[in-house]
Structure 1
Amino acid sequence: MASEVFNEPANILMVNGAVDRYGFFEGEQFCETNTRKLSESSLNKIRRKELKWQNMLTEWDKWMYYKTDRVRNQCRKGIAPAIRSRVWQYLCGSHRIMQMERGKYQVRFKHIHQICRLSISRKKIHLNII
């Protein structure tokens, strides 16, 4: 039954725009001309899955500690396309790394930018001397 839903192209409306069945934003250049839209009941089923996953993500630590079997079963039933990337972050644990490393990218970017500015100014000084 779940395979029926995910074997055909899906157009799911999100806050940011339309997303295909894999969770990617749709673009006209990638769409086939004869894609079928999902029925209203299929869309409702996908929306219910999305809400279940959103509720699980809000209390992720509790779900993983007490109800691991239910998380596994939900994964087997399928992850809602619109939230799939976020769920995978939680499943592999990268959301914790992102929280621990918050702000470090900006610090490193500023540091590299300063180094580049210094090297450019040194080149200008070198060219002025020659």
Structure 2
Amino acid sequence: MVKILNANPTMDTASVTVSAIGITEVKNAGKLRALADVDVVFDGIEMIIQGVKVRADDKSTEVSLPTYRAPDGSWRAAIILPDEIKDAISDTVIAAGLEAGILRVKKESVGDRCRDATEAKADQE
């Protein structure tokens, strides 16, 4: 559960619960790896967000909320949420992707370990 604290002290905090309903692997779509459906409960009010996109390559994994094509041809966010909720959705979807075997934890290469050791040594000096 994620607790969102408001900057205004006169307002109450809101509790938010995020859970993944399902995640579907997408094949042959470039960086797009999966689409997820997420259940978000704001203070007891349930909302389902469908079409949460999971993109991944060798360097990073990104989770983004659904978008739509506007009449002018541009892509726009279909829903706008605070960063705290977006982060909770991202963490939940990545965990579901790992559990389903769609995503995997990147193994550290020898080059990465050498670079990290060199940086750590330089910091000590």
- The answer to which structure has the higher helix fraction is 1
TM-score by length of 2: 0.32
TM-score by length of 1: 0.31
Greater Cα radius of gyration, structure 1 or 2? 1
Q: Which has the higher contact order (CA 8 A, sep 6+)?
A: 1
- The answer to which structure has the higher strand fraction is 2
